[in-house]
Homo-oligomer: A and B are copies of this chain.
Amino acid sequence: MPGHRIIPAFPNWGFDFMSRKPVDRADLPPLLAEVFRKHGYEGASLALISEATGLGKGSLYNFFPGGKEEMAAAVLADVDAWFEEHVFAPLRQESDADKAVSSMLDAVDAYFHSGRRVCLVGAFALDDARSRFPERIRGYFARWVAALAEALARGGRKDAAILAEEAVGLIQGAIVLSQALGDTGAFDRAIDGLRRRLVAPQTRSRSAQA
């Protein structure tokens, strides 16, 4: 019997509470990202998403008619755009190769909070979310490696491509290790090690002048 007659039990009658925060769709991806990061694609239920955003299903499906999959896609696009702007593009454009690599390491360290924050794209790559967004995931890592290789080559390094791949892998592995050990040390040491190996001493902005 479709169309029972729907009688809302508790309509919002007469109380406009807390002076309405005007929510914009563009504000959501970071909030959604935290949920996907913490719980993975499958584990990120609409209940958790609703709680994290403070939005009911109505609003969520208004912003993302495609449901969870569209939310995850929006988050991936958002993360991708952030890295494109703050990591990949600088790597490609900064003419001083050492400075390019060094500021990449700074950006990455800040973004991942010394390994306390998981890489969403990396987590999706291990998860079966991989099968839902293969191109996004592939592109993110491929562009990261390529941009870093370009910078290293510009700096005159031999085997720039291999070095770049190793560096990106090391960062991802360091996140895994830091999470597993519950200790940011592994991540910090990985970043320091990369700085030592990839950046000329006089350009290093943070630490580790061994």
Which residues from chain A sit less than 8 Å from chain B, CB to CB?
38-43, 118, 121-123, 125-128, 130, 134, 137-138, 140-142, 145, 162, 165-166, 168-177, 179-182, 186, 189-190, 193
Question: Chain B's nearest CB lies how many Å from the CB of A133?
Answer: 10
Question: Chain B's nearest CB lies how many Å from the CB of A64?
Answer: 21
On chain B, the residues within 8 Å of A186 by CB distance are 165, 169
On chain B, the residues within 8 Å of A128 by CB distance are 38-40, 43
9 contacts between A and B (CB under 8 A): A43-B128, A122-B176, A123-B127, A125-B180, A137-B180, A138-B182, A162-B189, A162-B193, A166-B170
| Contact across chains for A190 and B177 when beta carbons are under 8 A apart | no
Q: Given A43-B128, A123-B126, are A169 and B180 also a contact pair (CB < 8 Å)?
A: no
| Contact across chains for A177 and B123 when beta carbons are under 8 A apart | no
Which B-chain residue is minimally distant from A210 (CB atoms)? B159
| Contact across chains for B42 and A40 when beta carbons are under 8 A apart | yes
On chain B, the residues within 8 Å of A39 by CB distance are 42, 128
On chain B, the residues within 8 Å of A123 by CB distance are 126-127
Which B-chain residue is minimally distant from A140 (CB atoms)? B180
Which B-chain residue is minimally distant from A44 (CB atoms)? B42
On chain B, the residues within 8 Å of A189 by CB distance are 162, 165-166
| Contact across chains for B180 and A141 when beta carbons are under 8 A apart | yes
Question: Chain B's nearest CB lies how many Å from the CB of A151?
Answer: 18
Q: A123-B126, A166-B190 are known contacts; what are 12 more A-B pairs with Cβ within 8 Å?
A: A40-B43, A42-B42, A43-B128, A126-B126, A126-B175, A165-B186, A165-B190, A166-B170, A166-B189, A169-B186, A170-B173, A172-B177
